[in-house]
Chains A and B, each alone.
Chain A
Amino acid sequence: MRKPTKAVRTGQYVALALYLIFLGFPLLWLLSISLKTPRELASINPHLIPHHFQWSNYSDAFDAQGLLRSAGNSTIVALGSMVLTIVVAFPAAYALGRFKTRLRPIATGWILVSQLFPVILIVIPLFMILRSIHLLNSLFGLVLVYLVWTLPFALWMLRGYVAALPRDLEEAAAVDGAGRLRTLVSIVLPLLRPGLVATAMFAFISAWNEFFFALVLLKNDNVRTLPLTLAHFVGAEGQVSLGPLAAGSVMATVPSLLVFAVLQRRLTSGLLAGAVKG
């Protein structure tokens, strides 16, 4: 393929830089806030580089009510939810995408209603159900809830990716004698890799950042997740302990970025040129 011209390439770098400034500047500002003293935060001419570096914001955030433990809880919940979502959604999305079953319109209906109906209104019925099966106040219960509430997105998106796949490879494999499951794992799975990675990222970050279910379904301090701990820096009447909150938030952002950095490497095409011929 012809490589783009130098002019086009430069244009692409410039465009990318502009995007990244728009998307990344708030994090830079957050970093700056996390190192400022309250006095400087209240000053009227904000500078990106703090005048006096206040590292104690970080130790304050760290000392606060089990930040480390809640980070650990969040990690477990986010990873568990991510793995489960992929494992459960992949076969189901394939089925919904490829087969004409009665399940399809039912699933579509459920997906739409579950995404549209205000989640805050089902929190109480959900709370009652979890209580009756004794899964209140447990990380496992929370993972299940996240799984069930991320599935609609996962199914919806993966169905789209499945629909975009050329059927030729699967049909070739079927003619060649491969069973459904074999086809799934060895042919479809690699092709669907980018879609699965995108879904995994989404599942991870939804669980990592989720606040409302965690607030309502977790009671004990030892199972608290990170967003709940961060919320403690916000007091009444709009008073915010900005320095420590920023420090805590920086510490909460870094793991997600690391996960993304690792996962994005697999966001590459599973389809190699020349695999479908004839």
Chain B
Amino acid sequence: MTTTVVEPQLDSPPRPVRRRRGRSTGSRDAWLLTLPALIPVLVLSVIPLAQGVYYGFTDKRAGLGIATHVTGLENFRKLWHNHLFLESFRIGLIWAVSVTLIQFVLGLGLALLLNEDLRLRWLARTLALIPWAMPPVIVAIMWRLLLDPTVGPVNQSLKDLHISDTGINWLGDFHTALPAVIMVGVWVGMPQTTIALLAGLQGIPADLHEAAAVDGAGAWRRFFSVTLPQLRPIIFAITSLDFIWNFNSFGLVYVLTAGGPGGKTMLPMLFAYNEAFRYGQFGYASAMGDVMVLLVVIFLGLYLRAGLRKADA
């Protein structure tokens, strides 16, 4: 199949008028193109977010007819001394970095495989999305069952393969709880990473690969000199999003371990959730949210600055 190729007309003079109009209407076009998004976003996202962020500076609490007062930085002062929150932040960072990194490496491998011309590719691609397709309520319960020390198949297989006699108390042992929970987190997040990377791989022009192959580059060389650079913007986009989502996740871990044992898997979001919904301290919880946003934005900012700068080069 051929497409008609648009060939630039080199012999006719350039049309500065068109170009200039293009640039000045660019801004107007941008607004036009984003207009459908703007209104619902403003009403349903920006306003609640602004309110949420603002509550961090108040003493908003649950209660009938309770007035809210602005308390300035009082919540943040309390947070600074709340060593449990700081500890949860540390666990959150370990969790988020580990899950994101492993997700990315495994996801890239899978995306490369699904990009190849293998048989039954459609089936493989669909099956690879199973973690996505399963309802979250059952995912956590499933994994709790799979890792159950007495009736779980994971321990059963370990016993059958004679790797372990008694099985491992994955979620109950102080040392294995966080790694086990990280593994489940990776499982849950594989589809979004894989699909995002696969789409990126599909977007790489085939002739770039061809040109490199003609130049004598083997598969690995091509991967590093063609694939990775082309994928760069997408890699940064999906890993930064993965990191944010992983840092903010808590439903999964809550069902698996409820933050235990002994607080070893207490993530910051779980903290904020308890503060708001269990103790009714909306203001304090919002302050936690504000701190989380600030710190992660700084962390990400450095990450992305490095990424985007290289991309523009």
Contact = CB atoms under 8 A, between A and B. Distances in A.
A57 interface: no
B133 interface: yes
A201 interface: yes
Given A1-B213, A261-B126, A269 B118 contact: no
A103 B34 contact: yes
Contacts of A125: 47-48, 51-52
Contact of B233 (A101, A163, A177): A163
Nearest to B139: A26
Contacts of B210: 1, 273
Contact of B195 (A120, A160, A175, A201): A201
B311 interface: yes
Interface string A237-270: 0001010011001001100110011001101111
B86 interface: no
B44 A144 contact: yes
B205 A166 contact: yes
A191 interface: yes
A194 B134 CA distance: 23
A149 B45 contact: yes
B44 A103 contact: no
Helix, strand, loop or mixed for chain B's interface?
helix
Contact of A275 (B3, B45, B203): B3
B134 A260 contact: no
Interface string A184-212: 00000001101101100110010001010
B241 interface: yes
A151 B39 CA distance: 12
Interface of B: 1-3, 5-9, 14-15, 18, 22, 25-27, 29-31, 33-34, 36-37, 40-41, 43-49, 51-53, 55, 106, 109-110, 113-114, 116, 118, 122, 124-139, 141-143, 145-146, 150-153, 156, 187, 190-192, 195-196, 198-200, 202-207, 209-210, 213, 219, 230-231, 233-234, 236-238, 240-241, 244-245, 247-248, 251, 269, 272-273, 276-277, 282, 285-286, 288-290, 292-293, 296-297, 300, 311
